[in-house]
A = this chain, B = another copy of it.
Amino acid sequence: MTDDTRWLAPEESAAWVRLVALAELLPGALDAQLLRDAGLTHFEYGALMALAAAPERTMRMTELASRTNATLPRLSHVARRLEERGLIERFPCPEDRRATNATITPAGLALISEAAPGHVETVRANVLDALAPEQLEQLYVIAGAVLARLDPDARLSATSCQFSEGPVDHVVA
């Protein structure tokens, strides 16, 4: 059994193990804080933020799914739950009657405005505060290189997502 697999060198293995651990722990930490303080998963928070940032606070389901890296069924389930809670509303798109538009409600805006500071604080405490400015830059480049492999179409890092950590007030105003 000639095995031509290139096994990982020690430096590779060490970095890889840490990256995997990071990828496993980070989502849980984000969910835990948001769920505790606002009753939202990080995914729901991201979806609401994307809606808040959209023109007219409205977006097609398909586009929202793409921006949040969700499958359409997943988004549909989540949207139903958010709608039941009065945080968003859905209505058929006038131009294309197959499509559905989703809008964030005032209650939804209020909720994310309230949740945002705590979330940002969590991000700082768990990640950003641990890094020097040059490490932030390195992280940006490294994650970009990996994402180019993982997400060649760059759906996820589309424009509006950068907004997802800013204040919401100017939208509410």
A interface, CB within 8 angstroms of B: 3, 5-8, 10-27, 29-30, 69, 116-117, 120-121, 123-131, 133, 135-151, 156-157, 161-162, 164-167, 169
Between-chain CB contacts (< 8 Å), 18 pairs: A3-B117, A8-B120, A8-B165, A12-B128, A13-B165, A15-B139, A17-B161, A17-B162, A18-B139, A21-B157, A22-B143, A25-B69, A25-B151, A29-B150, A126-B149, A135-B141, A135-B142, A139-B142
Contact status A120-B3, CB under 8 Å: no
| Minimal Cβ-Cβ distance residue in B for A42 | B20
Closest-CB distance, A161 to chain B (whole angstroms) = 5
For the residues of A in contact with B, the DSSP-based class is helix
Whether A6 touches B137, Cβ cut-off 8 Å, given contacts A22-B23, A156-B25, is no
Closest to A120 in B: B5
The residues of B that contact A11 with a CB separation of less than 8 Å are: 133, 136-137, 140
